[in-house]
Amino acid sequence: MRHLISLLKKESSLRAWQISRLEKISNEVYCIGKSTEAVRCNQTVEYSLTLHTGSKKDVLGESSTVFSPVPGIFTEIISETQQRASLVENPAFEFSDPWQLPDRTNPIEDLSLKDILAEYIETSALDILNMNSEELHGCRLASFEIFAEKYRKTVVNSKGLELTMPSTRLAWDFVLISPDNQFEINSLLHRRFAKDLPFRKILQEESKALLDLQKAALPPTGTFPVILCSEALDTIFDFFTSQANGQSLYYDTNVISVGQSIYSEPQNSPSTLTIDSDPFLKGGLNSHFFDYLGYPMSQVRLYDEGTLKNFAIDGKLSCLLKKDMTSAMANLIVPAGTESVDSWRQNGVIELHKFSTFHPNTVSGAFSGEIRLGYLYKDGRKIPLRGGSVAGSSLKAFQNVKFSREKEKRSAYFGPSALFFQELTIAGE
């Protein structure tokens, strides 16, 4: 990298430059049935070079190149990137000024994995392979793949900024088949810390879900009180977070303004919507000390009791919008409520866990999801459901939402483990 920096400093025609260097060590194990098919270890280094050219105040030439370092390539990369940048006029923005990393524990590096990535995946794979049919409730694990990765990211720019941050990342992809061979669960999970990926517990829970899928029926059609949990937690807040993202200001897609409440009437419920963006959540997939341009990340209160308080505005957007920087969007933190999930499981309530798709529209707030697994509570029974869909409007549905007192940590979320909506539309039989 030092040689690349020295070459860039000699280019007097450049307005600014930034280098991102990502070192990656990846250990992988791939198993089919009860056999280990492959064990791999890969080590890569990838550079991203961004150049700014031009002398106009409000516009600049800009181009980026991603490449792997090989002898003698730097001069060619600089020339080609600079040539492309000269053909472009984009709104001007600045790279980050120099600053120091905060004196706090790294939230995305699992030190327990630091030097044992290979050992971790091998022992984890063996533990999974040793699970018997009884533990899996008669289900069959068709295949799985575990990735244990260690990263080291460095950002350097022409202003004198130089930051480095190590991290770890785990990925687990598996296919679980039901006892009757009619249903499968194909799941891909990402985590930062080993303790957040309990392989056995997850497989046991998913095998129980497959047993329920074997006897599941279409849901009834109509409007019902609905509990959303599990997979829905990853996306149910998307409308609100997208509205609070500075991107919505830049592209003029925001329908909620700072100081505006999402509620049409005053709320007395303890489950009013409060959302924080937190880049320091331990093990959070979106945790980091700095963003892709090297600007510092910080905690931001997005919504406070239903009122939009701040936009998540990163350094680049701050320049483009001419507004104060807050931070790039990070993990979502939502306070828990006061009621238990069990207290909601009453006659006529539908509880939904798995979906084929579930993505609220980030402008209108409308959402719908195809149901893969849910339950209807009726006459003291818990009836498995699959098929059909659930639909609603984020703004309307959250007028009377309740948050569970139980909490759950997911890849980039920490908050209530379930949400209770008074009325959503179910389309089924």
| Residues in Cβ contact with 362 at an 8 Å cutoff, skipping those fewer than 6 apart | 238, 239, 242, 243, 248, 253
| Residues in Cβ contact with 74 at an 8 Å cutoff, skipping those fewer than 6 apart | 3, 4, 7
The residue type found at 343 is S
Cα–Cα distance for residue pair 403/408, rounded to 1 Å: 12
Which letter, b or e, does each residue of 35-68 get, where b requires 16 or more Cβ atoms within 10 Å of its Cβ? eeeeeeeeeeeebebbbbbbeeeeebbbbebeee
CB-based burial of residue 309 (10 Å sphere; 0-12 exposed, 13-18 middle, 19+ buried)? middle
Which residue bears the tokens 């460095």? 154
The per-residue pLDDT for 265 is 79
Instruction: List the chain domain ranges.
Output: 2-210, 216-236+337-427
Tens-digit pLDDT string for the chain (429 aa):
899 999 999 999 999 999 999 999 999 999 999 999 999 999 999 999 999 999 898 999 999 999 999 888 999 999 999 999 999 999 999 999 999 999 999 999 999 998 899 999 999 999 999 999 999 999 999 999 999 999 999 999 999 999 999 999 999 999 999 999 999 999 999 999 999 999 999 999 999 999 999 999 999 999 999 999 999 999 999 999 999 999 999 999 999 999 999 998 776 665 799 999 999 999 999 999 999 999 999 999 999 999 999 999 999 999 999 999 999 999 999 999 999 999 999 999 999 999 999 999 999 999 999 999 999 999 999 999 999 999 999 999 999 999 999 999 999 999 999 999 999 999 998
**What are the DSSP calls for 346-378, one per residue?**
-TT-EEEEEEEEE---TTT-EEEEEEEEEEEEE
| 252's tokens | 């003029």
**Degrees, nearest 5: CA angle 285-131-372:** 55
Q: Which residues pair with 224 in a beta bridge?
A: 424
Q: Are 337 and 271 in contact (CB under 8 A)?
A: yes
Backbone angles phi, psi at 256, to 5 degrees: -120, 130
Cα–Cα distance for residue pair 13/55, rounded to 1 Å: 9
Cα–Cα distance for residue pair 85/60, rounded to 1 Å: 8
**Strand segments (E) across 250-365:** 275-278, 300-304, 307-308, 331-333, 350-358
> According to the 3-state scheme, what is the secondary structure of 303-334?
EECCEECCCECCHHHHHHHCCCCCCCCCEEEC
Cα–Cα distance for residue pair 77/60, rounded to 1 Å: 19
Strands 222-229 and 307-308: unpaired
Class for the domain spanning 2-210: alpha beta
Residue 58 in 3-state DSSP? coil
**Cα end-to-end span (Å), the chain:** 62
Cα–Cα distance for residue pair 190/256, rounded to 1 Å: 32
| pTM for this entry | 0.93
The per-residue pLDDT for 268 is 61
> According to the 3-state scheme, what is the secondary structure of 115-163?
CCHHHHHHHHHHHHHCCCCCCCCCCEEEEEEEEEEEEEEEEEECCCCEE
CB-based burial of residue 292 (10 Å sphere; 0-12 exposed, 13-18 middle, 19+ buried)? middle
Backbone angles phi, psi at 103, to 5 degrees: -85, 75
**Degrees, nearest 5: CA angle 424-209-418:** 40
